[in-house]
Amino acid sequence: MAPVLSIMIGWRASGEGVSVDMIAVLGSGGLDSSVLIAQMASDAAVFPIYVRCGFAWEEEEIHALQSFLDALNNPNVKSMTVLSAPAASLYGTHWSVTGAEVPAADEPDKNTYLPGRNILLISLAAIWASTHEVSRVAIGSLEGNPFPDASPQFFEAFGQLLSTGLGRKVLIEAPMRGLHKEDIIRRFQNLPLELTLTCMAPRNSRHCGQCNKCFERRKAFRQADIIDRTVYLGCVP
């Protein structure tokens, strides 16, 4: 029987026969995944992985992630690895590809859904990890994420399939699954959070200030009662 790929909820993970000193962390340049990289680097060698899928904001995200890593200046954080899983043909004229008519601040979260995105991200990261002697993969999914490929049930079931296909044990971790964005901001306000990018229509490395994600970010800073040093080009209600 192939070893089981499991999800670990918690800041640290260990398992019999599993190395806990190296971890691949999926990074988007966003607040959640950037904080995750910093946190994991406190006791492990972290390999940040960015996956290109053909979305409109990717160059801006890569720049933001690199800026955050440079500012972090932690020797435990290794150079960013950029992988590719071209998905533009799958999404067609979707706003994520064209960059036009992105969901606005007052639109529901369901309008921001990108079907199967975590399937792509986790698959590539797990394959990379299996070929680089890394036994852990982490993703910055938060509490309240309503999408089907961000649930503990999905991580567990998909993990079993990946384990069978890869023929080796890998731990998939979602250590922030029990936290909200305001919790992350409050706990890690000492980090250069203003360098992270949580926007669906960024311009010149700045938040548009008008999209659903910008609204969510500003709201979280207010709820955390922490000064938001992020530069927004527009106004969010």
Which domains occur in the chain, in start order? 6-10+17-224 (3.40.50.620)
Q: Could you tell me which of 212, 214, 231, 232 has the C-alpha nearest to residue 101?
A: 212
Between CA 121 and CA 60 the distance in angstroms is 18
Residue 106, SS3 per DSSP? coil
CA distance 113 to 110: 5
pLDDT in tens, the chain (237 residues): 333 333 333 333 333 344 348 999 999 999 999 999 999 999 999 999 999 988 888 999 999 999 999 999 999 999 999 999 888 777 778 777 777 788 887 887 788 777 888 999 999 999 999 999 898 899 999 998 888 888 888 888 888 888 889 998 888 889 998 999 999 999 999 999 999 999 999 988 899 999 999 999 999 999 999 999 999 997 655
Residue keyed to tokens 């994991």: 40
Nearest to 132 by CA among 5, 23, 231, 7: 23
> 44 CB contacts (<8 Å, ≥6 apart)?
20, 21, 22, 23, 76, 136
Sole residue written with tokens 């639109």: 107
Q: Quick one: tokens of 132?
A: 């680089």
Does pTM top 0.75 for this prediction?
yes
Residue 187: both structure tokens together: 């706990």
